[in-house]
A and B are shown apart, each in its own frame.
Chain A
Amino acid sequence: MKNLSPVESPLGLREVETSTKPLTPTQMAFRRFLRHKMAIIGVIFMVAIVLYVTIGASFYTEAQSNRLNLMIMLSPPSPGHWFGTDFVGRDVLARTIYGGQISIIIGILAVVVSTFVGILIGAFSGYYGGIIDNLLMRFTEAMYTVPQLFLLIVLAKFLGGKLPTFIFLGRSFSGSVIIIIGVIGMTSWMYLARIVRSNVLSLKEQDFITAATSIGTKDRFIILGHILPNTIAPIIIAATLQVANSILTEAYISFLGLGVQPPTATWGNMLQEANKYLERAPWLWFFPGMLILLTVLAINFVGDGLRDALDPHSLVDVNKE
């Protein structure tokens, strides 16, 4: 607390005058975030994992992660293969690196899809109301009623094998990567749609929206330029936590054998293969599982920190240092 000097205003109200420039809401949120210990740990974990799957990739080529060597199959962790080798002699460490890339990409892109759909449906529903709202919300409810994993199984089976293997950035990906991104995205937007809708409902009654409408602002601009920026905090929080959920979901669906298909490795399908070697080769499932746990944990920590930082209720004691 520096340079604070309470002065009497003409109205007799106590005002606090600061000589430093007032903090913008973003700066305040950022400060609160930095004070959140778990969030900082989460960020450190996240950076470490991203480095692991990126820098790590410069030590092993993708071909190495897929190279079979039946001579050394199922060998336990050793100096040559830190995480051991799997049932066809592939290096588990190299596979967790390349698998991690895919798992994380799926997590992020699935959230891009679900956030887009969620915002679209929520904003339309809340802004236009009436029959559109009714129809969209019944649909949302219907999606909510069916357990997500059931929907995932049916959709993954429904779309499975429809896309061929494709080449992207010099690497070949199984078409199932795109399908899984789509399927996870399409089954996890409901929560966000509801948040956006309720925010839009309360925002659209406010004066600044009425003002915008009265000067003839187009609906599209009111939604994109006025309403959504004011509801960005819950969207960011929900999206962050959703990345963690999507990575878990990918693991579940791959574990059931309906996820990303070989040869593309993900943490999830590595675990599925490892299930058969529960006793013989615990390193096969321990390391990918641990990496999923750490990644999801890091994201959850960050999400929690963001929630505290962006929550307007915690605006008090911003300058307390």
Chain B
Amino acid sequence: MVRFIIRRLLQAVPLFLIISIGLFYLANHLGDPLLSFSGNGARILPEDRLRLTRLMGLDKPVYVQYIIWLVGNDWIKVDTDGDGVPDEFGTRKGILRDDFGNSFTEKRPAMDVISERVKNTLLLMITVEVVVLIFSILIGIYSALHQYSVMDNLITTLSFIGYSMPIFWAAMMLMYIFGLNFKRWGLPYFPLVGMYELDVGPTILQIIWHMVLPVASLSIVSIAGYSRYVRSQMLEVINQDYIRTAYAKGMPVRRVILGHALKNASLPLITIIGMDLPMLLGGAVVTESIFGWPGMGLLFYNAALSADIPVLMGIMVIISILVIVFQIITDITYTFLDPRIRYD
């Protein structure tokens, strides 16, 4: 197992290099990072621009910038005053030593900016994933056990609709009905944007209350897809001999379904979750922007607009690492659920 994990991690190294080189190149051509540097839109004088460009290391060719980003420049002398003569050692340590550089817009370590947001995104995403799993497994099992019944057909149709809905449109509908109209009708209504009311502060209750609509709109789309998947997997499993055997020896239905059928049907489901989780972390750009949820997706979007290279690259690194880690976790979970699978 340890050897397997090490091998997978080693395989991930070239993968990481490809991704980071490609994105670094793109990130460096997103526009003028200095436009948003001054923050209030003030014009930057030409001499300041020169100095700032040099200070931020943007005057160097992209490949040099990439190397500095990766391994830092504290081991070479750099030219700080622009006279063409290297005078002192650089200050960047490179991402391999946990230095992601300073955010261009916020002028503090990019990792600080990101880690504040990661928590919010994780909170939203883990809730969504739990809600999605519970509902889709229940719905999936139900429709598999009642195949081609009226209810099953209804669920199938609904899940097709849910699956075909643009998330932001679902979000707008929910906001319109449960946010605006409920308020108008004097019913308890859900807040539209943000994580908490500014005058109340980030209490747990406030955050839960603000999470309802984003979680609902993200879940609708995912539940639709997942429950179809659970259904088809369950249908495949419940016709197997060992399920018939379990019934024949008088095992209670609940235990057959949950203990035998679901366990075996969940194997492919795990792959999907393992692939989806890190994607969810970044994929909620649209939801986060419509609900003003201060998460990583929104941060990425803003960083892309203002060409904030350190933040942009920092998020990409985190997501790539998460994807790779989740893949490994997925593979390991497999061995627990299906003892036939061995990696060594």
Residues on A close to B: CB < 8 A? Answer: 38, 138-139, 141-142, 145-150, 153-155, 157-158, 244, 248, 251-252, 255-256, 271, 275, 278-279, 282, 285, 289, 292-293, 296-297, 300-301, 304
Q: How far is the CA of A314 from the CA of B165 in the complex (A)?
A: 29
Complex: chain B residue closest to A154, CB-CB? B26
Residues on B close to A: CB < 8 A? Answer: 14-15, 18-19, 22-23, 26-27, 29-31, 157, 160-161, 163-169, 172-173, 175-176, 180, 192, 278-279, 281-283, 285-286, 289-290, 297, 300-301, 304-305, 312, 315-316, 319-320, 323-324
Query: How near does chain A come to B278, taking the closest CB pair, in angstroms?
Result: 8
Q: Which residues of A contact B167 (CB under 8 A)?
A: 252
Establish whether residues B282 and A292, one from each chain, have CB atoms under 8 Å apart when the complex forms: no
Q: Which residues of A contact B316 (CB under 8 A)?
A: 146, 150
Establish whether residues B164 and A244, one from each chain, have CB atoms under 8 Å apart when the complex forms: yes
Contact of B166 among A155, A251, A300, A301 (CB under 8 A): A251
Contact of A297 among B31, B161, B300, B301 (CB under 8 A): B161
Establish whether residues B324 and A145, one from each chain, have CB atoms under 8 Å apart when the complex forms: yes
Q: Which residues of A contact B278 (CB under 8 A)?
A: 147
Q: Which residues of A contact B285 (CB under 8 A)?
A: 149-150, 153, 252, 256
Complex: chain A residue closest to B30, CB-CB? A157
Query: How near does chain B come to A102, taking the closest CB pair, in angstroms?
Result: 16
Contact of B18 among A138, A147, A297 (CB under 8 A): A138
Establish whether residues A301 and B283, one from each chain, have CB atoms under 8 Å apart when the complex forms: no
Query: How near does chain B come to A301, taking the closest CB pair, in angstroms?
Result: 7
Establish whether residues B26 and A256, one from each chain, have CB atoms under 8 Å apart when the complex forms: no
Tell whether A293 pairs with B169 under 8 Å between CB atoms, given A154-B304, A300-B163: yes
Tell whether A293 pairs with B165 under 8 Å between CB atoms, given A278-B180, A279-B176: yes
Q: Which residues of A contact B283 (CB under 8 A)?
A: 147-149
Q: Which residues of B contact A278 (CB under 8 A)?
A: 172, 175-176, 180, 192
Tell whether A146 pairs with B26 under 8 Å between CB atoms, given A275-B172, A279-B176, A285-B172: no
Q: Which residues of B contact A248 (CB under 8 A)?
A: 164, 166
Q: Which residues of B contact A251 (CB under 8 A)?
A: 166, 168-169
Complex: chain A residue closest to B163, CB-CB? A300
Q: How far is the CA of A138 from the CA of B17 in the complex (A)?
A: 11
